[in-house]
Amino acid sequence: MKKPPRDKAIYTLLRRMLRVARALPLPIFLKDASLRWRYANPAAQMLFGLRRKDYHGMSDAALMDDVSAVTCQLSDRAALEGRGLIQRKENVLDRSFRVYKYAPRSEDGAPLGIIALAIETTELEAARTEGERLRDFYDALSEINQGIVRERYGDTAELFAHICRIVVGHTPVLMAGIAMIDREAGVLHYTQQACRVADFPDLGRVRLDLDPDSEYGRGPVARAARGLETVVVNDVLGTPEMAPWHELYRRYNGRSTAAVPVMVGDRIEAVLSVFAKEIDFFTPELVRLLRELADDVGFAIRTTEQRARVRYLALIDPLTDLPNRVHFLELAEQALATSGGQARRAQLLLIDIADFKFHNDLLGHEVGDTLLRALGRRLVAVVGETGLVGRLGSDEFAVLLVEPGDGSETGFARSLRAIDMELDQPYDVGLSESLLLKTEQSTALFPDDGHQPESLLRRASMALRAAKLAGPGSRVPYSMALERRLEYRHLIRHQIERALEAGEVIPYYQPQIDLGSGRVCGLEALARLVGRDGTILEPIEFIEEVEGDRGLVRRLGLAMIGAVAADLTALSHAGLDVPIAVNIGARHLLAPGFKRDIIDQLGRYPDMRSVLEFEITETTHLGDLSRATEAVRWLREQGLSVALDDFGSGFTSMNHLQRLAIRKLKLDQGFVLDLIDNPRDQAIVRAVVQLAEGLNIDLVAEGVASEPLGVLLRELGVTRLQGHAISPPLPLDALIRWTHDWHLPLDWC
C-alpha cells in the first residue's frame, strides 16, 4: 500500500538524518506529526534504555513517567505551532536537559514532525542548586551570629530554640533539632526543634541511647555524641543502622540527616541534628558550614574571647565586606555625634538596584553577587575616608555623607554627582557584554529630617519607596508631604488588605456595544472595594498601591474572578451571555505561579471558561516578552481570550502585537478624549483600525464620553465602543436595570 505523502516525506527526512545522527554523542530523536517516535540515535536509545522495536510508533506517555511525558508534549506542541527552532528546559527521568526542537514543514506548510536534540545539564543544575543551598546556610549562619553578638538570649534553651528556627526558616531542610546529653541515664533527648511540617512529632519522645550496643545507639546523634565529630547519613532508608527510625523518616519524606556536636572547649554541650528531604543533601562544603555554626554557638555559650570573634562576623556583610545594617547604624551614630559637635550637616543616601531580582534570576546568583560586590567597591572608592558605606539588605546600600565644613550644601551635590557618574559606568561581571544598571535612590538630611541614625534611616526608607514607584533613575528626598502621603497609602493598603481578607471585592461592569447590532458585545469587570466605613473605594484611591505590589495585583485579580463567577447566573438571566474582561496585571502574568493560579480558578469556577477574557494591564512591567508570549499562548490553549489594554500608551507597541497572540485591542482613551479637535489622533485611530483589520484583531475604543465622539469613531471605522456615553461602570443590579432602558443613539445607527 502506498504511503501518504507526509509519511514519505518524513521517511525521506529520516534517511538523511541517519548518516549524521548515528555518530553524534548527543541524543537525537525524530517524531512524526502525531508525536509518535520514529527514530532515536544510539545516544537517545542509551538515555531511555530502548531499542528500535521498543520505541518505534510509541508516544511519550508509553515511554516515560507522566510528569516527563507532559513536559515533552508541551514543548512538542510549541514546536509544531511555532516557526523556527525552539529551546526548552526539560526534566526527563530525573535528569535535566536543554532541548532544541524544530518542526520541518511540507510545501503546503503542514508540519511533518519534530527533530529534537538534547544537551544534558544535570551537573550544571546540581551545581547551581548546591550554590543556592550554601548561600542559604551562610545567611542562616550570619543571622545566628548577629543574635549571639547582640546577646538576645537569656539562657541556652532560648539560644538553641532560635538556632532551630533560623536553620529551618533560611534553608531548605525539613527539620532542625538540638539534643542534650544525660550521661547518668545514658540517653540523649531533644529539647528544641523546628520543622516545616505542621504535624511533625515531638522528637523528645524519640528514643536515643548512648550505648553503642543498643539499636537506638547506632544513629548519627549518638555517634556524634560519643565520637565528638560530625556524622552524616546521606541515605537514611538505605542504611540498616537507621532502621529504628525508618518509619519516622518515611512518613515525613526524610532522606538524609547530619548530626554535629556543639563543643565548649573540650566538653560536648549538645548535638545539632538536621533532616533533609533529598538523598546526598549534605555535601562536604555544607557539612563544613554546619560545623562552623556549631562552633560559633559553642563559643557564644562560654568564652568572651570567642564571643568577640562572632561579634565581628555579625557586624560585617560577608559578601561585600561592608558594615551591615546594625554596624552601619552604630558607625553612623558616632559620625553624627562628631559632626553635630562641629555644627556640620550630613546626608543619608539610600541606593537600591532597579530590577535586581530580574537580573539575579536571569543571569544567576553568581552574577548577582558579583554586581553587589562591584557596586560596594565603587561606593567606597567614591566616598573615600570622609564618608561611610554599608549594605543594609539584599540590594540596598546606604551612604552617609558629612559636609566638609563650610556650611553649604555644595559638597553634597558634588558627592552625589560623583556617585551617579561612577554607578552609571558599565559593570564587567564575566559575561560577553558588560551590564548597565539603573538605581532608585533617596536622601534624608541631618539634623533637618532626624537627629538619630534610626530616624534618618526610617525617613530615607520612606523616600526610597516613593523612588521605586517613580522608577529607575529616580532620586527622591524626604519631605513631610511625602510622609503624609505614605501614611495615607498605609491606611489605603490596610483597607485593601481588609477588603481582600473579608471578600469585599465588588465588580462594577461597564458594557461594550457593537454599533452594527446596537447590542452589548462584552463587559469589562472593574474592581471596587468596600472601605472600613462601608463606603465604596474607587480605583483612583487604591490602584497605585495595588499595581506597586505583585502580591496585591495577584490577590485582587483572583478575587475578581471569583466575584464575577458569583454573578454569572444573574447576568445570564439578564441576557448578558457575553465575554467578561477581568484585568490581570503584567506582574501577575509573569509570576512563576500564574498558570497554577488560573488552573485553580477554572477548577473552582468551571462556568467562567466560556466567558472569561483576560485584559492585560500595567504594560510598563511587560518587559520579558518571551515569558509573556508563552503565558498568553498558554491562556489561549486553555480556550481563554486575551485583550491588550491601553494600546498606544506607555510601553505598548507593535512589538507586543508581533509577539503576543492577543485577539482584542483596547484603544487608549488618550486618543479618544480629544479626537474631535485633533486631526493627528484621528489619523492614528484610522491607522490602528486598519492594523486591527489586517491582523484580524477586535478593536474597542475606551473613553467614549459623548454621542459626537461615537459618531466620529464610527466614521473612522471603529465599531465597538465603551465609555460613559453608553454607561459608567455599574454594580450588577444597576447594570441589569440599564439593559432594559438602553438603546443605540440615532446618530450612531
pLDDT in tens, 301-357: 765 445 546 667 778 888 899 999 999 999 999 888 865 445 478 999 999 998 888
* pLDDT in the model for residue 236: 93
In the three-class reduction of DSSP (H, G, I as helix; E, B as strand; rest coil), residue 571 is classed as helix
Instruction: Supply the Cα-derived Rg of the chain in whole angstroms.
Output: 32
The set of cell numbers assigned to 466 is 516613593
Whose cell is 513631610? That residue is 480
d(CA 276, CA 283): 12
Amino acid sitting at position 538: E
**SS in 3 state form for 321-334?**
CCECHHHHHHHHHH
Task: Indicate the pairing of strand 612-617 with strand 536-537.
Answer: unpaired
Residue 413's pLDDT is what?
Answer: 84
> How far from the centroid of its chain's Cα atoms is residue 675's Cα?
40
At residue 305, the pLDDT reads 44
Q: In what order do the strands lie in the sheet with 208-209?
A: 208-209, 187-195, 175-182, 267-276, 256-264, 231-233
- Please list the residues that pair with 39 across neighbouring strands: 30
Cell output for 322: 561592608
Q: What is the pLDDT, as a whole number, of residue 558?
A: 94
DSSP state of 566: H
Low-confidence ranges of the chain (pLDDT < 70): 1-19, 93, 125-127, 148-154, 300, 302-311, 338-343, 404-410, 618-625, 648-660
**pLDDT at residue number 573:** 94
Give the per-residue pLDDT at 153: 65
Residue 376: per-residue pLDDT = 93
Examine residue 447 and say whether the peptide bond preceding it is cis (omega within 30 degrees of 0): yes
Compute the residue count for the chain.
749
Please give the DSSP secondary-structure letter assigned to residue 452.
Answer: S
The count of other CB atoms within 10 Å of the CB of residue 14 is 16
Cβ atoms of 167 and 142 within 8 Å: the answer is: no
**The C-alpha cell that represents 62 in the structure block:** 508509553
Contact 368, 356 (CB under 8 A): yes
Residue 261 — φ and ψ, nearest 5°?
Answer: -70, 140
Under 8 Å CB-to-CB from 2, ≥6 apart: which residues?
A: none
What pLDDT sits at residue 351?
A: 95
- Which of 554, 500, 551, 552 lies closest to 529 in space, CA to CA? 500
Distance CA 339, CA 447 (A): 10
Phi, psi for 122 (deg, rounded to 5): -60, -45
